[in-house]
Amino acid sequence: MRIVNRAHLPWLIFVVVATLFAIWLYVGNFAPQHLPSELHLPDSLLQKPSESHRVGGTPLGLIFGSIALGIFVFAALLGVRKKVVLWRIGTVQRWLRAHIWLTLLTIPLVILHSGFRLGGPMTTLIIVLYVIVMVSGIYGLVLQHYMPTAMMERLPAESVYEQIPHIRAQLVAAATKMRDTFKPAPPAKQDAGAPAPSAEKTVTTGTAAMASTSAELSTPTARAKTVVGSAITAETVALPEKKPVPASATPPPPKPASPPKPAASATDADSEAALLELLDRQILPYLSARRGDRMLLGNARFSEDTFRFVKLRVTDAYRDRVEEMQSWCDERRMLDLQLKLHHWLHSWLFVHAPVSFLLLMLVFWHAFVTLFKY
Amino acid sequence: MADVVEKLTTGEPLSVDQLIEYLPALKEIPRAQLDNWAKGAAVLHRYRKGEIVCEEGEFGSTAYYIVSGTVDIFIHNPLAHLRTHPVRSFLGRSMRRMKSFLTDDQTDLRPEAHQRKFIGIDANVDLPINRPLAQLGPGELFGEMTCRTYQPRSATVQARDPCVMVEMLRVILDMLVGNRTPSDVTKATTKVKMPTFKGTSFKAELERKYRERSLSNHLRSVPLFASLDDEFLEYLRQHVELVSCNQNQIICKEGDEADAFYLIRSGMVRVSNALPGGDMVRTYLSRGDYFGEIGLLRKIKRTATCTALDAVDVVRIPAADFSLMLERFPAVRQQIEAVAGARFAAHEQKTIPAGLHLDDFLNQGLFEAQNLLLIDLENCTRCDACVRACATAHDGVSRLLRDGLRYEHFLVATACRSCRDPLCMTQCPVGSIRRKENLEIIIEDWCIGCGKCAELCPYGNINMHPLELMREVKTEIKGKEGAPSTFKVEQKKVTAYKANTCDLCTQLSTPSCVYACPHDAAKRVDPQRFFGDAIAAQTELIGTAWSQLPARYETHHTH
């Protein structure tokens, strides 16, 4: 919900006026000496002296408290309203607007109700919970104001959130399929520039025709790339991360032991060996990882450098495959970023909603105890 | 020939001589051509009484010729449309839930539902709309459009008596009724060079039968001609021309003199206007529809170009006869003028707002859309309340997907756009998907559930809604030791399908998705007005305050 919007203006005015009115009542009753004489309350609004020394127990304090309690109940009903979407009892948007502004109004009401004191353990606990609820709610509001725009700018092609695991699996399947097209064979001649191949990761000198898997992938990036005006640039997909990359999370990257050999001197077998190595050691672990952002390829700059380096080491016939691999990693990085932003955008609710419920229960208990037990 | 064998997997293969025996008109084709092309291109079928020849919605590539016996030709699928209604709960109106069910036009008359009396099918007969059943006898041909354009079978055919039929591939059909000149695209892409067949006396015979038996019905099936008396219908029957058109042939061209009125006998006609960026399709017309009336009524030049999408047969009523009809029957004039007025108004509406980002606007097909579900990505928190609301409103099956391409800061959600060029309409075998005069898509009651429209929609916005129905099913029990077979009739639960698309929750004041959005992100808008006004606002900014701009974006909701 974007708060800087003309639709919020009446609510802002209402809350400011209601707050000023509540303060005027409070000061007029409990500290009239601070008010200029022309602002003194009329007699009808002055309450009789109360037996209780606490503001909350006075009629005015009770009114503040009751209004705040009513707002809490209304605020809790937003959850119910969202569940029953077809009820034609005001748009959810209006409910949310009322939820935001009325709960903001509870800040002065609760403060005035408490008389600027925490009170006993019970009321202190309520105030603590109230602070958590309000802070988490305002934090959520700020996130909802800024994050959608940030998501739009940083994620040029979003997926449906629920489909992210499926798309990840598609990427792994595509990489596995490409890996399977390389035929393992006894060790051939060793390339000085290539990473040392293990016994299982050597390839034949023959060149197996390798089918591109791009046609089978229907990922958001793939779709967006087909549209004019939605082309994905390296800056937008590959977000440069400023934090240092954890080095211990994955095996060492395929850094060259010696300067890369020019493509002209690389053979198809060398190319396949290099790609197989890259797939086994970097790409497949990255695509299969639960937390891709902790892997080396999760870093856009590292990924860019790695693939540029690999392109130099393979023959022209294999460069398309390298680009395909790079697109998988870019896609995966974007999915990870979407997950991260999505979690940021919604995780505050896991604090806000249950604590609000607990607060409401305690407030009811507080009202019951103070009204009927004292 | 391998291809031929695959298509004709059942039946007795016919030699050329046998084929001539069953279809004597083929004698008119040179023997060399027959030997070259007709071998293995037809099979003979013998059907027992009650046996199904083909079923509606089935895909096929052959036509059938009835040698002996009669068949029933009918539509199985319930003649009804899908309607979602709020069901009141015990708590009253505001706490209601939605339920989808089938209802027909008698009980739920939609304001612009077609007032047809007959359903056009792929045969020389029309099915009455109140009881979609007809008979075909010896000498009749059916399945011509399926054979020519591979569209799904339009109706179910069941043997009424023991029948003998010839099932043929397109080459035999071309020999019999003549082939149409293929379009340049077809010529460029096809590998097989087909000879040109002019047709035989069989074609003339078919046309004679059509003129004798079906034309009157066909003319009467057009609501406009319902008030004509028998005498004038007979006059028209004698005077109209039956015209066959090739694929992509222009039947009448925008700007030409209006010289005739056309009624479509078979095939699909595209109605379009030439615009600087290319043609803009206004609609597709199918069997039973008509065109060419605006120019004749208003004495103006043609306002649109009508092109045969495939092999099209039309009934052409010359201008003189048309004028005579209007003179003699004022009621017909009144009706035609009303329709022409609506079409003319729709035609006048189409203009491109200046200043739009035309590349994206055209590439994403937004210009084609007239009602978009947009999600403002600057407001949307991806909570999916819109999708849940849609699902709740439609029996748990959402008709929108919060996924799609972006235009500016909006996501164009996957939900019906009411396209101006509705590709979904181009291959409906029974013409049940059509658009109202306001260009909104409507699926008529006689949808047979073949799913062709869903397949053709480029945006995946048409769903096939499954419905459990009880249907009478005949099972053959073969008699022992030469005893005749018997049929066991039982009621079985079957799944029928009806195409449906976003209904805009028309029974509610605001679409459910928009109503349920907590963040003012979901909007149903006319893209041209919505984006066009934003552009207009930007151009006005020199003289106005910035605060005007957001207000313009909020103005044009379609619902």
Q: Determine if the pTM surpasses 0.80.
A: no
For A19-23, A186-190, B27-31, B368-372, which range has the lowest pLDDT when averaged over its residues?
A: A186-190
Residue B546 structure tokens: 């910035």
Distance CA A256, CA A322 (A): 17
The angle subtended at Cα A305 by Cα A302 and Cα A311, nearest 5°, is 140
Structure ipTM: 0.72
pLDDT average, residue stretch B25-38: 85
pLDDT average, residue stretch A143-151: 91
Contact between A47 and A58 (Cβ < 8 Å): yes
Q: How far is B519 from chain A (nearest CA, A)?
A: 5
Mean pLDDT (chain A, rounded): 78
The helix-helix angle for B230-239 and B319-328 (nearest 10°) equals 170
Contact between B286 and B428 (Cβ < 8 Å): yes
Higher pLDDT, B387 or B396: B387
Closest to B140 measured CA to CA, from B52, B220, B214: B214
Distance CA B540, CA A357 (A): 50
Q: Residue A338: closest CA among chain B residues belongs to which residue?
A: B382
Ranges A2-11, A274-283, B191-200, B274-283, most confident? A274-283
Per CB-CB distance under 8 Å, the chain B contacts of A160 are 401-403
Per CB-CB distance under 8 Å, the chain A contacts of B377 are 148-149, 151-152
**Second-level CATH architecture of B2-75+121-199:** Sandwich (2.60)
Nearest CB to A152: which of B94, B96, B377? B377
Query: Strand, helix or coil at B509?
Result: coil
In this predicted structure, the answer to whether residue A303 has a pLDDT above a threshold of 50 is yes
Per the DSSP assignment, residues forming a β-bridge with B98 are B86
Per CB-CB distance under 8 Å, the chain A contacts of B517 are 91-93
CB atoms inside a 10 Å sphere around CB B320? 11
Task: Give the best residue of B85, B384, B406 to mutate against chain A (max A CB count within 10 A).
Answer: B406
Distance CA B413, CA A351 (A): 31
Whether B392 sits inside 8 A of A86 (CB atoms) is yes
Q: Is the CB of residue B516 less than 8 Å away from at least one CB of chain A?
A: yes
Q: How far is A323 from chain B (nearest CA, A)?
A: 24
Closest to B385 measured CA to CA, from B285, B511, B518: B518
| Segment B533-556, tens digit of pLDDT | 655 554 554 444 434 444 444 444
CATH hierarchy code of domain B222-349: 2.60.120.10
pLDDT average, residue stretch A227-243: 36
**Which residues in chain A belong to E strands, given as ranges?**
none
State residue A265's pLDDT score.
53
Mean pLDDT (chain B, rounded): 77
Q: Residue B514: closest CA among chain A residues belongs to which residue?
A: A91
Residue A266 structure tokens: 């690389």
Contact between A224 and A157 (Cβ < 8 Å): yes
Distances (CA, A) of B541 to A7, A175, B550: 22, 52, 12
Q: Residue B386: closest CA among chain A residues belongs to which residue?
A: A85
In this predicted structure, the answer to whether residue A189 has a pLDDT above a threshold of 80 is no
In this predicted structure, the answer to whether residue B22 has a pLDDT above a threshold of 60 is yes
Distance CA A189, CA A196 (A): 11
Distance CA A141, CA A352 (A): 11
Closest to B269 measured CA to CA, from B288, B284, B290: B284
Task: Give the best residue of B382, B403, B559 to mutate against chain A (max A CB count within 10 A).
Answer: B382
Distance CA A289, CA A283 (A): 10
Higher pLDDT, A73 or B389: A73
Distance CA B368, CA B282 (A): 10
Contact between B508 and B86 (Cβ < 8 Å): yes
Whether B94 sits inside 8 A of A88 (CB atoms) is yes
| Segment B281-318, tens digit of pLDDT | 777 887 777 888 888 877 888 888 999 887 788 888 88
Distance CA B253, CA B12 (A): 47
Distance CA B286, CA B466 (A): 26
Per CB-CB distance under 8 Å, the chain A contacts of B97 are 86
Distance CA B202, CA B179 (A): 13
Whether A144 sits inside 8 A of B389 (CB atoms) is no
Alpha helices in A279-318 (DSSP H): 284-288, 300-313
Per CB-CB distance under 8 Å, the chain A contacts of B402 are 160
pLDDT average, residue stretch B151-174: 88
Per CB-CB distance under 8 Å, the chain B contacts of A338 are none
Q: How far is B13 from chain A (nearest CA, A)?
A: 41
Distances (CA, A) of A273 to A196, A277, A280, A297, B32: 10, 6, 11, 20, 61
Whether B384 sits inside 8 A of A224 (CB atoms) is no
The rounded Cα B352 to chain-centroid distance in angstroms is 27
Per CB-CB distance under 8 Å, the chain A contacts of B547 are 6
The alpha carbon torsion through A305, A309, A311, A314 (nearest 10 deg) reads -160
Residue A54 structure tokens: 């606490």
Contact between B517 and A1 (Cβ < 8 Å): no
Distances (CA, A) of B430 to A67, A179, B152, B269: 64, 49, 9, 14
The angle subtended at Cα A213 by Cα A208 and Cα A218, nearest 5°, is 180
The alpha carbon torsion through B528, B534, B536, B540 (nearest 10 deg) reads 180
Per the DSSP assignment, residues forming a β-bridge with B244 are B313
Residues on A contacting B at a C-beta cutoff of 8 Å? 1-2, 5-7, 82, 84-89, 91-93, 95-96, 144, 147-149, 151-152, 158-161, 220, 223-224, 227-230, 342, 345-346
Q: What is the CA radius of gyration of chain A?
A: 32
Give the helix/strand (H/E) hosting B314: strand B312-318
In this predicted structure, the answer to whether residue A202 has a pLDDT above a threshold of 80 is no
Per CB-CB distance under 8 Å, the chain A contacts of B389 are 85-86
Domain(s) labelled CATH 2.60.120.10 in chain B stretch across 2-75+121-199, 222-349
B positions 402-421 inside 8 Å of A (CB): 402-403, 405-406, 409
Distance CA B340, CA B304 (A): 12
For A108-117, B344-353, B397-406, which range has the lowest pLDDT when averaged over its residues?
A: B344-353
Residues in chain B: 559
| Segment B168-226, tens digit of pLDDT | 988 888 888 877 666 565 566 655 666 777 778 888 888 787 777 677 777 776 666 76
Contact between B261 and B335 (Cβ < 8 Å): no
Q: How far is B457 from chain A (nearest CA, A)?
A: 17
Whether A7 sits inside 8 A of B520 (CB atoms) is yes
Distance CA B307, CA B271 (A): 7
Query: Strand, helix or coil at B136?
Result: strand
Confidence of residue B278 (pLDDT cuts 50, 70, 90): low
For chains A and B, count residue pairs whose Cβ atoms are closer than 8 Å: 108
Q: Residue A229: closest CA among chain B residues belongs to which residue?
A: B360
Whether A92 sits inside 8 A of B518 (CB atoms) is yes
State residue A244's pLDDT score.
43
Q: Residue A93: closest CA among chain B residues belongs to which residue?
A: B518
Backbone angles phi, psi at B314, to 5 degrees: -125, 155
Per CB-CB distance under 8 Å, the chain A contacts of B505 are none
State residue B369's pLDDT score.
76
Distances (CA, A) of B413 to A154, A355, B363, B522: 19, 35, 16, 9
Task: Give the best residue of A78, A142, A152, A349 to mutate against chain B (max B CB count within 10 A).
Answer: A152
Q: What DSSP string describes B8-68?
A: --SSEE--HHHHHHH-GGGGGS-HHHIIIIITTSEEEEEE-TT-EEE-TT-----EEEEEE
Task: Give the best residue of B98, B381, B410 to mutate against chain A (max A CB count within 10 A).
Answer: B381
Ranges A167-171, B38-42, B300-304, B426-430, most confident? A167-171
Helices and strands, number each (H, E), in chain A: 11, 0
Contact between B272 and B283 (Cβ < 8 Å): no
